[in-house]
Amino acid sequence: MTVISLDDLQKEVGEELAKKIENALKGDSLAAITAGGKLVATLMGPQAVRDAVHLRVLQRLASDPDTIDKLKKRFESDDLVR
């Protein structure tokens, strides 16, 4: 996955475009960037990111039960370090 920094966008192409993207993603939605009638990119808001992480972890745990075992031990452990 390629990540585009909104801070970089602001520096490189200006405040207006960055603001437009930020507004498009308000309400945790997905947003698409089009050019010449073609889809160029799809952007994910926080809820879409959360859903994607949820699905990937679900996939990981469903296909690798050893991880469930490991997580159980880790979440029950009180052996904490800084």
Binding positions for other proteins, rule: CB under 8 A? 1, 3, 46, 49-51, 53-59, 61-63, 65, 68-72, 74-77, 79-82
Identify which of residues 40 and 81 has a Cβ nearer to other proteins in the complex.
81
Helix axis angle, 46-63 to 65-76, nearest 10°: 110
Identify which of residues 5 and 35 has a Cβ nearer to other proteins in the complex.
5
> Tell me, what amino acid is at 77?
S
Identify which of residues 32 and 53 has a Cβ nearer to other proteins in the complex.
53
